[in-house]
Structure formats: structure tokens, C-alpha cells
A and B are shown apart, each in its own frame.
Chain A
Amino acid sequence: MKSLLGGGAAAAERRAELALRALAMGVLVVIAGIAITVFTKAWPSFAHNGIAWFGSGGDVDTQFNAMINGSRDPAHYVYHFRAWPLIWGTLLTSGLAVIFGMVISILAAVFVVELAPAQVKRAIDPVIRLLAGVPSVVYGLIGILAIAPWVEHHLISNQRKRSVEYVVQLTGANLSVATLILTVMIVPIMVAIIASALESVPRTWTEGSAALGVNRWRTTWRVSLRTVRPAIVAAAVLATARALGEAIMLAMVAGSRGFAPNPLDGVTFFFEPVRPLAATIIHYIDDLSIVPVAQTLYAMAAVLLVSCALLSLAGWAAKQPMKRYGIRA
């Protein structure tokens, strides 16, 4: 009886192990399938434009319209495309949001872990988790209905509009609003990661520092934050990945023009419209039945896929030298 049960349990264990292995392999197969589909569909767009695909030249929306109004005959498909304004838009929105988000979330995490009284901490923790889970379309709605009209009425003067009116039209949906909302979106997740790492810094280390007469701020700065550097890198990587892939919110508030904001325009730069890659895919989703448009959108998806893969690789590489004394994350 006993051996029978034991044998049954062992067999069940084996079966469970096999099932789990099959599931894990299944995930790998799905990922490989996605990558292969995206790259094969994207190939004609890259092949026709070559390396210039990534360059600048002309207006992306005019190029999309040429594809939409172009021939439906496969021999005469229009493929001309220069993606730089969209890539620049992606770099700008993600980069600025992660830089601002980094500063805010490190300070916020230090406050939550080191300074906040117990009751405040108890109240803040669930709020941060809740904010991290808010769907991006909600942020988009707040942006388009409240923030964008306010920015347009109060921050963009007619002189500013006139200064660039022959190049681009300034409205409330622009780089500054997109960056602001994106920052708000990625901060909670960064705070959560950095705070939990700060909490796991061994108490003896900070106490040791305090015993040597180092004040609280210096202890936090030189001991705690130094220890959690790998967690900070992990938070930055996760936040950048979220910012890169954010589509709906950015399609709603970043302006509906594929324009490359020009830093030489001074302050006006922050009020120029911008449309990152992911948001552009949403913008032209209605034209997916037009083959060259679909292939160009797949090409943008391929760029996003590769950047996310490179990003996690870079994050991993950056963490290696810090691991020795640090808290793993």
C-alpha cells in the first residue's frame, strides 16, 4: 500500500515536471514564432529602403499617405519611408521620462524607506502599488481631456505658435505633456523596486556607518543607495521597456503628427508634437489591410522588439560589476 502510494506520487511528480517543461518550451516557441513573423513581415520595408529606413528625410505622414493612396498592385507597391522622426520621438519621450522618473523615484523611495513615519508608510505602500497598476488608457484620457487643453490655453502663446507655424502646428498634445504623463506612469513601478531593495540593505551596514559618526543623509547616500545600484539599474530597464512600448496613452496625448521636435527651437521644442513608434502603429492601425503600410508597421515593431532585447542585455551587463557588494535584483 505504502509503496503503491509512493510510486503514484513519484509518477505524478514526473508528469508534473514534464508538463512544466513542455509549458516552458511552449513559451520559447511562441516567442520565437512572434520574432520570426514580425521579421519576415517587416523585411520588404527594410529591403526597399536599406539603412536609410532609420534616417531622416521628408515627412512620415506624407510617406504613409503615399502608401495608402499608392498602387494596390504588388509590383508597384510604394515603400519609401524614413523613420527618424518616429525613432527620435521614441528616444525623446522614453529618455526624458526615465531621467525625470529616476530622480523622482530615488528620492521617493528614500523617503518611504528611511524617513516616512510608520503610518505614512502604511498608507503610501498600497497607493504606489495601485498607481503601478492603472491602465495606460486612463492616463491617456486624463491627458487628452484635462491636461492637453490646459497646456494649450495657458502655456502656448500665439507668438509661440506663429514662430513655427510654417513648420508645424502647436497644440496641447505635445512632447511636454507626453513626457509628463509617461513619467507619472513609470515612477510607481520604479519606486516599488528601489524601495524594496533599500529595505533589504543589511541593518548592520547602515548602523555601522552611523556608529562611525556619519550623518543620516550621508549614510543613505553612500551606503544604502550604493548597495542598491543593481536594483536601480533594474528599475531603469523595466521603466524604459514600459516607456518604449507605451502606445495607447502616447497615441492620445503626444500629438497626431509624426514630427521630430527640434532642440534648436528653445522652449518651443517642448511644445512641439511628437509621435513615438508604438503610438504610430496605433495611429495607422486602420490601414493594416494595405500591404505596404502593414509591412512598414511590422518594421517598426521589429525595431521595438530588438531595442527591448538590447535593453535587457544592457541592463544585465551594467549590473555585473555592481553585483559583488550589492543587493541582487
Chain B
Amino acid sequence: MRTRTLTVSLIAALTLAVPAVAGARALLIDGSTSVFPLMTQLAAAYHKATKEPTPKVGQGTSDVGVSDVAAGRVDIGDVSRNPEEGDPKGLTFTKIARDGVCMITNPKNPIGNLNQQTVQAIFTGDVREWSEVPGAKISGPIDLVDRIASSGTQAAFQDIFLGEALKISPSAEAEESNGLVQNKVKTDEDAIGFVSFAFTSGVNAVGYQGIPCTLQNAKSGQYQGVRNFWMVTKGAPKGAAAKFIEWVTSSKNASARKIINSEWIAIH
């Protein structure tokens, strides 16, 4: 008797579960913490617009996105740096948006602008005192905040602000995510770091080469600290992944464009 009840309930559970399996499973996405705020908004809007299951978005770093998608652990990897030589072969990078990288300081040290030379001197460790930085409102030793090596934001910062030859001083403290850099700079008056534009609330965003780091200046192309956001797939995107990427990148999709343009820059 008991066995029969068990069998019946098992079958009932299976019948209930089958449609869920037969219907599309949710896409798995992970990678850059810079892309994460954009991707979660896009995923929610995608579900609303198409009734497809909401893609599940995780966070790691850009390198995690690349290696997870190459190993088949996720359907799409989020990457906030350009493709690199060391990336696994056979990946397709689809550009989905552009993003401003801002240098940030504590609100008690509201520096308006830094030129390229000063930025390079600060981040390579040549200048270690705020009193030697033009425009600084405090004096004291500079606390450099870097990101860990697998970060796409670090790769982009390195490319745009420092160039090939210069390296960020190894004495800098390296944080695991944009949010941790933001928290560090918020609580430390002497700190300077760099984050994606979406992580600039509560801290002072520093201008670069005379142009303030604002969304407007990044969109107009005046602000130079702009990098690309990519969705990466193993081979050309296909199936559910292709549908989502197409929805995100389509120039006709007003709702995706609106989300992207709220804090990032649409590519069309």
C-alpha cells in the first residue's frame, strides 16, 4: 500500500517536472563583476518581454567568464576587456555595450581632474604623496587600490590609462570585485582606485585629461576611459543563447537600449 502511494506520488512529481525540463531551461551566465549590474537588468527585462526563463547571472571576473564558457560550465561568459591572445581558441566575442572606467577617490578628497602623466605617476608608484598631486584636497600617503589579475576592469585600465610598458605598482592592494574597490575608497580618505561607471555612487569620480567622468561625456566620446562589454560563447551563438544575445544587441529593441543607456553606452 505504502509502496503504491510512493509510486503514484513519484509519477505525479515526474509529470509535473517534465514540462519544466522540456520547456527551455534558464541560460547560465557568469563572468565580469562590471557587466553584472547590466546583465541582471537585461535578464529580468528579457524574461518580461519574451516569457523565456530569466537567465541566471553569476559573478566572478572576466577571466572566469572566459574559462567557464570555454569549459562548457555556462552558456554565456560576461567579459569587460577585449579578447586576448591567451584566451582559449574557438570563442566568439559579441560586443553588447560600452562602459566608462572611472578613477575614484574618497568624497573628502574631491579631485576634479588628473592628466595622463599624473595618473601614470600615481599608479606606477612614482608619486606616493597626495601633496604632490595637483588638485588633491588632502595631504598624506596615497593608498593605491588595484584589482586582481583576472579582472577585466584592470586589463582595460591598464590598456587605456597606462599603456603597454607601465605596470601598476605591486605594493597596491588588490581587491576581488568592483564593489570591494568602491567600499575601500568610500572608507579610506587616502585611497584611489578604478571602477566601472556603475560603481561610482558614494565616491568622487575623477576626470581624465580635462574631461569629467560622466555618462554624458563617455557617450559623446570626449571621455577617453571607455572600454567594451562582450558576451562570449563557445563557437557562434546558437539556440537560447543566440536568442538572448540577439535580443540584447538588436538595434530595434527599445527596452534593451533603454537599460543599456541608463548607465552604459549602447553600441548602435
Contacts and interface: CB of A to CB of B under 8 A. Distances in A.
The finding on whether chains A and B are genuine partners in a shared complex, rather than unrelated, reads: yes
Contacts of A173: 173
Given A158-B140, A165-B128, A165-B141, 16 more contacts: A59-B170, A61-B174, A64-B149, A65-B149, A152-B188, A161-B141, A166-B171, A167-B171, A255-B173, A256-B173, A256-B174, A273-B173, A283-B174, A284-B148, A286-B61, A290-B63
Interface of B: 60-61, 63-64, 67-68, 70-71, 86, 88, 128-129, 140-141, 143-144, 148-150, 170-176, 183, 187-188, 190
A114 interface: no
12 contacts: A72-B88, A149-B188, A167-B171, A169-B173, A171-B188, A255-B173, A256-B148, A273-B173, A286-B60, A286-B150, A287-B150, A289-B67
A262 interface: no
A257 B149 contact: no
6 cross-chain pairs, A with B, having the tightest CB-CB distances, nearest first:
A289-B67, A161-B141, A149-B187, A286-B150, A68-B149, A158-B140
A37 interface: no
Nearest to A60: B170
Interface in A52-71: 59, 61-62, 64-65, 68-69
Given A152-B188, A287-B63, A69 B149 contact: yes
Contacts of A62: 170
Interface string A58-102: 010110110011001000000000000000000000000000000
Interface of A: 59, 61-62, 64-65, 68-69, 72, 144, 149, 152, 158, 161-162, 165-169, 171-173, 255-257, 273, 283-284, 286-287, 289-290
Name the residue among B71, B144, B176 with the largest chain A CB count within 10 angstroms: B176
B120 to A, nearest CB: 18
Nearest to B189: A153
B143 A171 contact: yes
Name the residue among B61, B67, B149, B175 with the largest chain A CB count within 10 angstroms: B149
Nearest to A168: B171
Contacts of A283: 148, 174, 176
